[in-house]
Homo-oligomer: A and B are copies of this chain.
Amino acid sequence: MFEQRIYNFSAGPSMLPVPVLQKCADEMLNYQGSGMSVMEMSHRSKVYDEIIVQAEALFREVMQIPDNYKVLFLQGGASTQFAMVPMNLLRTGKADYVVTGQFSKKAYQEAKKIGSDIHLAGSTESTNFDHVPTQEELDLRPDADYVHICLNNTIFGTKWHYIPDTGNVPLVADMSSCILSEPFDVSKFGLIYAGAQKNIAPAGLTVVIIREDLAGFTLPGTPTMLDYAVQIKNSSMYNTPPCYPIYVCKLVLEWIKELGGLEAMKERNQKKAAILYNVLDESKLFRAVAAPVDRSMMNVTFRTGNEELDAKFVKESVAAGFSNLKGHRSVGGMRASIYNAMPLEGVEKLAVFMKDFEARNL
């Protein structure tokens, strides 16, 4: 039982900024004099319309999204996008997938269920996804309908430190675990999607940013709800959208803007990640899992090399008020997910705890 809030290093759903949660609590029974909770509002009402319109405007402003891109607020998570992308973009049936972790592999497998010519354009599975391929290692086809990548690999703690050059072929990116963590040049992508539960909002919202010329086609039998053109035409309101997560998304974007936008987020996140990677690089007990050049700024994976010691670390960390530091079973060891809402203080305290654990166990 914790009287106070703890440092939650969960890979997702994960921490939300305290001022956002405070506002959610304060406005729960009566949103700004509307006499109702945001959870109770008709999605067609004027008061709710202001919320969703502002959420989109803030997304555009914070991410500097060009005018020829649409922002959609959908449901179903990235896993639904794994099917929705090929169902809408596979005009000729050819697509290239780069597999750099569990989620990009799932996306690749889902596309193979749907398309006839899905090509593995790169994979780092042989080294258990401890790095990301270089541009030279990619086997891209100039006539593919799109190239799919996952920009940050939550489980393995790696990220693409460059945006691959795909020529005229649209680049589709799963940004679930790095969106809003730093500035990205949206114009280099054809389509970006992200589950909300890491850097945007609570689970149940999926944000899609799509270059408008890519919408308008679907394979036969595609559900209406999985048609980007339908969602665009109806401004994400073909049916009732996930209203409350969209409201929280708006609050999170206001918080990001107030802190200085994505440049400030990047600086903050670099600082947090550097603290942990420095501890790891100087440690005689712990070592980082990901290749140094491909290290994620959001998910820091590490281990001692001794499973019992790893388990001891995780157990003691819980008692010390740090939660969810256990690594994913496919990597083992530990993982500290340090998304936007994780305060610097939480990372600093974890670093102290790690050094102390090392001193006691070396």
Residue numbers in B under 8 Å from A87 (CB-CB): 223
Q: Is the CB of A79 within 8 A of B239?
A: yes
Q: Is the CB of B203 within 8 A of A243?
A: yes
Cβ of A293 under 8 Å from chain B:
no
Cβ of A304 under 8 Å from chain B:
no
Q: Is the CB of B35 within 8 A of A4?
A: yes
Cβ of A291 under 8 Å from chain B:
no
Q: Is the CB of A3 within 8 A of B33?
A: yes
Partner of A75, one of B28, B35, B204: B204
Residue numbers in B under 8 Å from A187 (CB-CB): none
Cβ of A113 under 8 Å from chain B:
yes
Minimum CB–CB distance from A337 to chain B (whole Å) comes to: 10
Chain B: CB-nearest residue to A106: B224
> Which residues of A from 64 to 123 have beta carbons under 8 Å from B?
75-80, 82-84, 87, 110, 113-114
Q: Mark A315-346, 1 if CB is under 8 A from B, else 0.
A: 00000010110000000000000000000000
Cβ of A43 under 8 Å from chain B:
yes
Interface size bracket, A side: 35 or more
Cβ of A259 under 8 Å from chain B:
no
Minimum CB–CB distance from A349 to chain B (whole Å) comes to: 14
Residue numbers in B under 8 Å from A6 (CB-CB): 34-36
Bound Cα distance from A226 to B114, whole angstroms:
13
Residue numbers in B under 8 Å from A241 (CB-CB): 203-204
Partner of A225, one of B11, B41, B83, B323: B83
Bound Cα distance from A258 to B184, whole angstroms:
50
Q: Is the CB of A225 within 8 A of B34?
A: no
Cβ of A22 under 8 Å from chain B:
yes
Bound Cα distance from A110 to B225, whole angstroms:
10
Minimum CB–CB distance from A55 to chain B (whole Å) comes to: 14
Bound Cα distance from A79 to B16, whole angstroms:
30
Cβ of A40 under 8 Å from chain B:
yes
Q: Is the CB of A240 within 8 A of B29?
A: no
Cβ of A53 under 8 Å from chain B:
no
Q: Is the CB of B45 within 8 A of A10?
A: yes
Chain B: CB-nearest residue to A76: B75
Q: Is the CB of B221 within 8 A of A223?
A: no
Cβ of A296 under 8 Å from chain B:
no
Cβ of A163 under 8 Å from chain B:
no
Partner of A80, one of B5, B14, B223: B223
Partner of A204, one of B11, B18, B45, B242: B242
Bound Cα distance from A162 to B275, whole angstroms:
66
Bound Cα distance from A203 to B110, whole angstroms:
27
Partner of A15, one of B11, B16, B36: B36
Q: Is the CB of A11 within 8 A of B79?
A: no
Q: Is the CB of B37 within 8 A of A16?
A: yes
Minimum CB–CB distance from A295 to chain B (whole Å) comes to: 22
Extra contacts besides A76-B80, A82-B225 (11): CB < 8 Å? A5-B30, A12-B240, A21-B29, A45-B323, A75-B75, A75-B204, A82-B224, A83-B224, A202-B244, A223-B226, A244-B244
